[in-house]
Structure 1
Amino acid sequence: MLKKLLRAGFAALALAAVASPASAAYPERPVTLIVPFAPGGSTDLCARIIAQKMSDILGQQVVVENRGGAGGSLGAGVVAKATPDGYTILYATVATQALNPALYKKISYDPIKDFTPISLLVNLPNVLTVNPNFPAKSVQELIDIAKKDPGKYSYASSGNGSPLHLSGELFKKLAGVDLVHIPYKGSGPALVDVIAGQVPIQFDNLPSSIEHIKAGRLRALGVTTAERVPNLPDVPAINETLKGYETYSWNALYGPAGTPKEIVDRLHAAGVEALKDPGVKQKLADATAVVVGSSPEELADFTKKEIDKWTPIVKESGAQVD
C-alpha cells in the first residue's frame, strides 16, 4: 500500500511539473533590457526610468545594457537572435522597427518575423524650431517663405536617415516645399549651428530642445505629434496646419520571436503597471514622454502601420545607409 501511495505521489509531482512550465516561475534571474543606443539620450533615459520600476514589480533586476551602433540595428539584432525565454528583451524605437529595414541595404533581422510584441510604452514628441532671427513665426509662414524660394533654405537633423531627418521629409512632402537637408552627427552639433544661425531650421527631439525654446534661443513653430503637448501648451501641433502630419519617436518592448505567451503577459503587466506609478509618470513627463502602455496585439498592429507609413517616405527621400 505504501509503495502504491509513493508511486501515486511521484506521478502527481511529475504531472504537476509538466502542467507548470518554467515560464510559470518567470523571472528567476535578472532580465537584460537591450537599449540599442548609447547612454544619455532620451531613449536611454526613459528605458532606465521604466526598467527600475519593472525591477520592483518583477522581483528581479531589469538590467539596462546599451548596445549602440548602426542606428539601433546592432542591438535589435542581438535580441532577434536571443533565446526566447524572456531574459533578453528589446527597448525598441521607430528607428529599429520601422526605419532601419528600409534604410539599410543589409540588416540582420526582420522587424515583424523576428520579434514578439509586448507593449508600446511611450511616445516622445519631436519639434520644428527655427533660429529666432528667422522671419517665420508659424508653420504656415514657414511654408509660405519656403514656397517663394524653393531650395534656398535648409533644415538640420541629427543624421541621415534618422527619425528627425524623415520628419523633415514628411513635412516637405505634405507642405509641398523644397528644403535642403543638412545631416549632423547627433542633435547636439545641430542645435549649436541652429542657435548660432548657421542653419535656420531644425527638426529635433523635444527633450533636447525644450530648454533652449524656453530660454528664447530657439523659436518653436510646432510639435510633431497629432496634438499639443503639456510641456509646451502654447506651441501648436504641425497637424493643425498640415492635416495628417504626425511623427514622434516611440519606445516599445519586444521579445525574440517565439517568446511564450505567459512570459509576454508577465512583462506586459509589469510594463503597464510601471507606467501607472506616480513617480514614473512624473519622471517621464519631465522628459516630455507621453505614456501609452498598449497591449501586445495593439503593438503588433501599430508596428505594421509604422512600417507601411515610413517605407515609402524613406524611399522618396533617397536616404540609404550601407
Structure 2
Amino acid sequence: MRRRVLLAGLLAAPAARAQAKPVRVVNAYGAGGTADVVCRLLFGRLSERTGQTYVVENRPGAAGSIAASLVARAPPDGSTLLYDATAHSVNPALFGPKLPYDTRRDFLPVYLSLVTPNTILGSHHFAPATVRDLIAAARAAPGTIDAGTTGIGSAQHITLALFNEMAGVQINHVVYRDSPAARNDLVTGRIQLQFSNTPGTVPHLRAGTARVIAHSGREPVPVLPGVEAIAATLPGFETYEWNGVFLPAGTPETINRSLNAALNEAAADPPVAETLAALGAIARPNTPEEFAAFLEEQFALHARVVRDAKIRVD
C-alpha cells in the first residue's frame, strides 16, 4: 500500500509541476510607469490568491508593438499574456499595414484593468488657469503655445490633437523622451503646457509644481478635487488612457473567462482597489465582451483623430 501511495505521488508530481509553470505577462511598457505599477499590482495579487506564478516581463518600445508582436506569436494556451495600453488602439491608425500583426485578429481582449482621464497641466509662468482662458489665449496668438507629451500618437497627443480640433486652436506639440523631461521644462516655463494622465498629475497637485487646468473625463475625478472637465467648455470632449490584458487569438474561451473572473476578483480586493483609486483609475468590473466594445470605441476615435490631425510617425 505504501509503495502504491509513493508511486502515485511520484507520478502526480510532474503534472503538479506542469500546472505550476509560471505564466509570462509581457508588459508593453517600461518599469516604473503607470502600466507597470498597475500590471504588477494586479498580477501580484492574482499570484497570492491563486498560487499560480505570474512573471511580468517589460518589453517596451515601438509604441507597444514589440511586446504585442511577441504575444501574437505565442502559443494560444494561456501561458503568455499581453499587458498593453492606449497605444494598442492607436497603432492600427498610426502604422497601418506596417504593424507586424493584426490588432483585432491576433488578440483576445480579456480584462480592462484601468481607465483614467488625461489632463492639461499649466506652468505657473503661464497665465491661463481655465479651459476658457486657455482657448482665448491660443486664439489670440496662434502657434505660440507649446505643449509637451511623451510620444507621437500617445493618449496625451490624441488629447491635444482633439483639443486643437474642437477648440479651433493651434497649440504646438513638443515630444519628450519621458515624462520627467517634460515636467522639468513645464516647471521652468520652457513649455507652457503638458498633457499628462491622472496618475502623473496627482504629484503636481500635491506639490503645487504646476497648475492643473482640466481633465478629459466625463465625471469628477476624486483625486483631482475642483479640477474642471474639458467637456464643461467643449461639450462631448472625452479621452482616456487605458490598460488591459490580452491573450493570443485561438486561446480557449474557458481560459479567457477564468482569467477575466480572477482579475475582477483581484481588482476588487480592498488594498488593490484603494491603490487604483489613489491613482485616479476608473476601475470597474467588466467582461471580455465589455472590454471588446470599449476597444471598438477607442479604435474609432483614435482612427478619426489620427486621420483628421494628420498625425504621422517619421
> Once the two structures are superposed, what CA deviation does each residue of 1:192-235 show, in whole Å capped at 9, x if it has no partner?
10110001011012222321222221001111122121101211
Does residue 1:148 correspond to 2:118, yes or no? no
TM-score, length-normalised on structure 1? 0.88
Name the CA distance, whole Å, in 2 between partners of 1:125 and 1:269.
25
Q: For the Cα contact (< 8 Å) 2:185–2:191, is it kept in 1?
A: yes
Name the CA distance, whole Å, in 1 between partners of 2:220 and 2:248.
35
Q: Which amino acid aligns with 1:306?
A: Q
Does residue 1:189 correspond to 2:185, yes or no? no
Does residue 1:65 correspond to 2:57, yes or no? yes
Name the CA distance, whole Å, in 2 between partners of 1:29 and 1:126.
38
Match in the other structure for 2:197:
205
Count, aligned residues: 297
29, 39, 48: which one pairs with 1:37? Answer: 29
Name the CA distance, whole Å, in 1 between partners of 2:152 and 2:173.
9
1:320: how far off?
Answer: 2.2
219, 231, 235: which one pairs with 1:239? Answer: 231
Name the CA distance, whole Å, in 2 between partners of 1:256 and 1:57.
24
94, 100, 108: which one pairs with 1:103? Answer: 94
Name the CA distance, whole Å, in 1 between partners of 2:181 and 2:297.
32
Q: For the Cα contact (< 8 Å) 1:51–1:62, is it kept in 2?
A: yes
1:27: how far off?
Answer: 5.4
Alignment of 1:84-233 (within 5 A): 84-96=76-88, 98-104=89-95, 106-233=98-225
Alignment of 1:240-259 (within 5 A): 240-259=232-251
> Once the two structures are superposed, what CA deviation does each residue of 1:89-138 show, in whole Å capped at 9, x if it has no partner?
11121112x11122225111111110111111111322101112311111
Does residue 1:306 correspond to 2:298, yes or no? yes
Alignment of 1:282-293 (within 5 A): 282-293=274-285
Alignment of 1:18-57 (within 5 A): 28-57=20-49
Match in the other structure for 2:10:
none
Root-mean-square deviation over aligned CA pairs: 1.6
Q: Unaligned regions of 5+ residues in structure 1, if any?
A: 1-25
Q: Which amino acid aligns with 1:298?
A: E
Name the CA distance, whole Å, in 1 between partners of 2:218 and 2:65.
27
Q: For the Cα contact (< 8 Å) 1:50–1:275, is it kept in 2?
A: yes
Name the CA distance, whole Å, in 2 between partners of 1:271 and 1:243.
34
> Once the two structures are superposed, what CA deviation does each residue of 1:247-278 show, in whole Å capped at 9, x if it has no partner?
11111111000110110111001100001100
Q: For the Cα contact (< 8 Å) 2:20–2:53, is it kept in 1?
A: no
Q: Which amino acid aligns with 2:78?
A: G
Match in the other structure for 1:5:
none
1:28: how far off?
Answer: 4.2
The structure with the largest alpha-carbon Rg is 1
Name the CA distance, whole Å, in 1 between partners of 2:51 and 2:208.
45
Q: Unaligned regions of 5+ residues in structure 2, if any?
A: 1-17
Q: For the Cα contact (< 8 Å) 1:271–1:293, is it kept in 2?
A: no
